[in-house]
Amino acid sequence: MATLPLEEITFTNSFADELRGETNPNRGSRQVPGYAYSRVAPTPVADPHLLAWSDELAATLGLAHPPERGPAVDTLAGNLVLGSMKPFAARYAGHQFGNWAGQLGDGRAMSLGEITAPDGRTWELQLKGAGPTPYSRRADGRAVLRSSLREFLCSEAMHYLGVPTTRALSLVATGDAVVRDMFYNGNQRPEPGAIVARAAPSFIRFGNFQMMAATNELDNLRALADYTIRHHYPELGEPSPDVYLRWYEEVCRRTAVMVAHWMAVGFVHGVMNTDNMSILGLTIDYGPYGWLEPYDPDWTPNTTDFGHRRYAFGQQPQIALWNLARLAEALSPLIPQPNDLRAGFDEYTQTLAATRYDMTLRKLGLTPRNLAADQDLLNDLLDALTEAGADMTIFFRQLSHVAPALLAAPDAEATQEARFQELLVAAAYTPLPNPAYGPLLNWLPRYLDRLREETAGPDAIRQGMLAANPKYVLRNYLAQNAIEGAEKGDLSYLNRLFQVLKTPYDEQPEHEEFAAKRPDWAWDMPGCATLSCSS
């Protein structure tokens, strides 16, 4: 299919054209009452050059691969604003760590406008780190290479895993230094700056609605809801109080599906504030996220959250519901009987339970049979994994090979115990035998008996399990290796890692090193197991 260089694309600007925005060129931080956004201009950078590019997303958008330097990359760095673009920073508010934070807004993100893809769908293109806006408060509007690289890679990795997410088109180095206190310990240092161009049908967050409700701007609230429905939920029909209710239920449903996916692959978002919740049910804001390595519902990578563990892995389902309740409050002025919004909570709870059940069964190669007994089997597995602290990804991936093989083996009884031992050694972070692995060892034969009840043959079961249990996820230490290379100007590790993450369910035996459990050196190394919000 024909592609165009980015600089030849004509952008549309539905958000800027249809909603009320301020055009004040003043970039000073301030409250922006009465408006859904502020028109802004990116601040140019010294030497924009391309570090990474998502070919597949570019193909979807109909964009040609740009050279390392030139007008396309200048556009992706904010140095060039095309005539058809109306860049803006959205005004949103939010609850951060459970507390109302008031106006936040795009302090370093800027939307450039929308691209209509060859298939007719529209995508908003947004730069993250393109300079200050009225919402920057005391910060600089910039992003460092390490956090931008993490956002670029993880957005795309999540897409390839099948998780609903915003996408990333490019990672561009700015040539400017950005000063950060990475450990919040008073030691500031200059780091290389970078800008990610991300794409999604829309970047509207729960917090955009909260902002309007908090300041009682009901016309703006209604306009934003109507805009969202008309452009992104047109199947619901023309906005009306009844349609608002159905829309809210659909947001709840999509959010549940997103969280179920996170739980299935071991993704921890790390900072599920309401301003980081997409109204489209997409994973948004790849900041201090992490991937479960030792299975532990209490784990969070975010050092800022070590005290309360509000956003730990196992908390995510209930935090999403808490956030949805804040969204319901924001939408209630639009609804004659706000209590009707409660139907969305049930939608969330039921969809989450059903989707998680479904996804976990698929991870185990099972089809629904006896709900109560199977629930027990699944719950016991999660308890056993927690007690063992086994590597989640390796455990499920190895099981996808071992369990079907045992079904097929004529001398299964004899080999079973040895195969289970091997599986646990592969996934264990402690030397075995270890009593913490007892429950898992007991669970495995029970599971195998249940698997024998399946009618599908071992091969079909193995195929299904391999398609549900990724071999390659973006372990934090892998991202850290890519960062260290990129900071030294060596992109080879980043490129190889990105390539591997594009087919995470494939075996790719030549890339085994990217499937390795967290190495010893990475346990205490910043960026590898824990992260601060400094980005």
Ligand X SMILES: Nc1ncnc2c1ncn2[C@@H]1O[C@H](COP(=O)(O)OP(=O)(O)OP(=O)(O)O)[C@@H](O)[C@H]1O
Q: Which residues bind ligand X (CB under 6 A)?
A: 104-109, 128, 135-136, 139-142, 271, 275-276, 285, 287, 533, 535
Length of the chain: 535
- Hey, which residues are catalytic here? 275
Tokens 């900072």 belong to which residue?
Answer: 271
How crowded is residue 8: how many other Cβ atoms within 10 Å of its Cβ?
A: 12
CB nearer to Mg ion: pick between 226 and 285: 285
- On whether 462 is known to bind a ligand per the annotation, the reply is no
CB nearer to ligand X: pick between 205 and 397: 205
For 76-163, list the strands marked E by DSSP. Answer: 88-90, 93-96, 99-103, 109-116, 122-128
Distance CA(460)–CA(362), nearest Å, equals 12
CB of 128 to Mg ion, least distance (A): 9
Whether 186 contacts 172, CB under 8 Å: no
DSSP secondary structure string, 223-292? HHHHHHHHHH-GGG-S--HHHHHHHHHHHHHHHHHHHHHHHHHTEE-S---GGGBBTTS-B---SS-EE-
- On whether 307 is known to bind a ligand per the annotation, the reply is no
DSSP secondary structure string, 153-187? HHHHHHHHHT--B-EEEEEEEEEEEEEE-TTSSS-
CB of 138 to ligand X, least distance (A): 8
CB nearer to ligand X: pick between 211 and 440: 211
CB nearer to Mg ion: pick between 150 and 462: 150
Report helix, strand or coil for 331: helix
CB nearer to ligand X: pick between 195 and 448: 195
Distance CA(437)–CA(391), nearest Å, equals 12
Look at residue 141 and give the partner it binds from ligand X, Mg ion, none, a contact being a CB closer than 5 to 8 Å depending on partner kind: ligand X
Scored b (16 or more CB within 10 A) or e, 486-499 reads beeeebebbebbbe
DSSP secondary structure string, 188-222? -EEEEEEEEEEEES---BHHHHHHHHHTT-HHHHH
- On whether 362 is known to bind a ligand per the annotation, the reply is no
316 binds Mg ion (CB under 5 A): no
Report helix, strand or coil for 397: helix
* # residues contacting Mg ion (CB under 5 A): 2
Task: Give the C-alpha distances (Å, rounded to integers) separating 400 from 375, 406, 442, 498.
Answer: 20, 11, 18, 24
CB nearer to ligand X: pick between 100 and 523: 100
CB of 457 to Mg ion, least distance (A): 47
Smallest Cα–Cα separation from 27: which of 101, 110, 98, 85? 110
- What does the DSSP 8-state code read for residue 371? H
106 binds Mg ion (CB under 5 A): no
- On whether 107 is known to bind a ligand per the annotation, the reply is yes
- On whether 496 is known to bind a ligand per the annotation, the reply is no
Distance CA(245)–CA(331), nearest Å, equals 9
Distance CA(417)–CA(230), nearest Å, equals 58
In the bound state, the residue with its beta carbon closest to ligand X is 107
Instruction: For residue 386, give both structure tokens.
Output: 């927690």
Look at residue 304 and give the partner it binds from ligand X, Mg ion, none, a contact being a CB closer than 5 to 8 Å depending on partner kind: none
CB nearer to ligand X: pick between 267 and 295: 267
- On whether 105 is known to bind a ligand per the annotation, the reply is yes
Smallest Cα–Cα separation from 326: which of 274, 363, 380, 268? 274
285 binds Mg ion (CB under 5 A): yes
- On whether 517 is known to bind a ligand per the annotation, the reply is no
From the list 56-64, 207-215, 277-285, 412-420, the region that binds Mg ion by CB under 5 A is: 277-285
166 binds Mg ion (CB under 5 A): no
- On whether 527 is known to bind a ligand per the annotation, the reply is no
CB nearer to ligand X: pick between 104 and 394: 104
Tokens 């455990």 belong to which residue?
Answer: 395
- On whether 78 is known to bind a ligand per the annotation, the reply is no
Cα angle: 516, vertex 519, 525; to 5 degrees: 130
Burial class (CB in 10 A: 0-12, 13-18, 19+), 431: exposed
What residues does 113 pair with on adjacent strands? 125
Kind of pairing between the strands at 122-128 and 109-116:
antiparallel
CB of 207 to Mg ion, least distance (A): 9
CB of 356 to ligand X, least distance (A): 26
391 binds Mg ion (CB under 5 A): no
Look at residue 106 and give the partner it binds from ligand X, Mg ion, none, a contact being a CB closer than 5 to 8 Å depending on partner kind: ligand X
- On whether 141 is known to bind a ligand per the annotation, the reply is yes
Look at residue 139 and give the partner it binds from ligand X, Mg ion, none, a contact being a CB closer than 5 to 8 Å depending on partner kind: ligand X
38, 111, 202, 276: residue in contact with Mg ion (rule CB under 5 A): 276
Q: Which residue positions form the known binding site for ATP?
A: 105, 107-108, 128, 140-141, 198, 205, 285
Residues lying near Mg ion in the complex (CB under 5 A)? 276, 285
Q: Which residue positions form the known binding site?
A: 105, 107-108, 128, 140-141, 198, 205, 276, 285
